[in-house]
Every structure is written in structure tokens, then in C-alpha cells.
Amino acid sequence: MSELYQLAYVSQATFNDDQQSSVRPEVSRILLQSRKNNPDLDVVGALYYKNGYFFQVLEGSRENVEGLYAKILKDPRHKNSKILVSKAINRSGFNDWSMKYGVSDDEVNNLLNENSMVFFNPYKFNEEMTNSMIRLLQNVPLLEEFTGTSNDLNGNNQNSSLNILAIVISSVALVVSVIAIFMTL
């Protein structure tokens, strides 16, 4: 069995971020793709997006996580990727999630305020803030109907029929976002 590995990185969006909707179509597409592909790689994690910045945590075997990160680096939807955490871990903090999304903005704002920051800019995070952000993402409540995965008795991440529901819900969110964009034109 391969060693469990965690990689957290930040990057900047290359798409326009002046949209007022809370769900960005580009972010929805990233989530759809992650929730579809990550279970096949036995990779789990979380994504947070705000102010044009991505903060993402990936966990799985070192080989799979580093392979996925190499693909992520080629994605034109973001640039200036910087690894904040790269380490072996004893257990996953995201067992039930192919890709979690988000955390309460209030919780993130509290973290920023505690560290004398006004705006979310993870490039300025120190090690303590990075670890706090990872814990916030790990503590997002599990809503099974949105995970797209299930666990067997050994805690192994498995595909389930909930993948379809997660894709449908994400697709509906994407459609609503697109409609909102066209209504503002």
C-alpha cells in the first residue's frame, strides 16, 4: 500500500472575476471534472475560490497526487501555481469527498481577521494560516447526497450512483450562473 500524501497549492484565476453570482461557471466546470476523475485516481480533496484565487488540497498516493498536479499545472484556467504543503500524512481529512467545494466565507473572514488580513490572498498565508485553511476545508459538513462518493467498511473511497446527482446539481448551478450572466448583459 502506498503512502498517503497531501499537497496544497494556490493559484490565480485567468478568467474574469467580476461576476456577481456566487457560483462561477469556470469553478463549476473544475468541480465537475474533479468529481468525475478523482475517484478513479483514489484522490480526494477540497477547493476554495475567492477574489480570483484558488486554494486546493489534494490527498492520495504521492504518485497519483503529483500526476494530477502536473495536469493541473497545464490547465489554462489558472496561473502562478505555488505549492504551500507537500507532505506524507497518516490519514486523509477528506475520505468522503472526491472534491469538496468551499467553506463558509464567514469562517474564512474570521481566519483572515485573526491574521490581520483584509482580503483572501493565499499567497500571503504562512504555515499556520495554511494549516488553518486546510482544517476549515476538512470541517465542511458532509452532505452525502452531494459527495459523489461513498465509503466501504474499510473507508475506501468508491464511486457510487451519487456521482450522477453531484454532476446534475453542479450542472444546474452552472446553468443558473450562465442565465444570471446573460440577464445582466
What is the residue-level pLDDT of the chain in tens, covering all 185 positions? 568 999 999 998 888 766 554 556 777 777 777 777 777 888 888 888 888 888 989 999 999 999 989 998 998 888 999 999 999 999 888 776 677 676 677 888 889 989 898 888 999 999 999 999 999 888 876 543 333 333 332 233 444 444 455 556 666 666 666 676 666 66
d(CA 127, CA 122): 11
The whole-number pLDDT of residue 150 equals 35
Cα angle for residues 54, 56, 58 (degrees, 5° grid): 160
Backbone angles phi, psi at 120, to 5 degrees: -70, 110
Q: In the numeric block, which cell numbers belong to residue 58?
A: 489534494
Q: In the numeric block, which cell numbers belong to residue 148?
A: 459523489
The whole-number pLDDT of residue 49 equals 86
d(CA 45, CA 43): 7
On whether the 4-184 domain is CATH 3.30.70.100, my answer is yes
The whole-number pLDDT of residue 25 equals 73
Cα angle for residues 162, 168, 172 (degrees, 5° grid): 145
- List the chain domain ranges: 4-184
The whole-number pLDDT of residue 76 equals 87
Q: How many other CB atoms are found less than 10 A from the CB of residue 121?
A: 15
Position 101, amino acid: Y
Q: In the numeric block, which cell numbers belong to residue 112?
A: 483572515
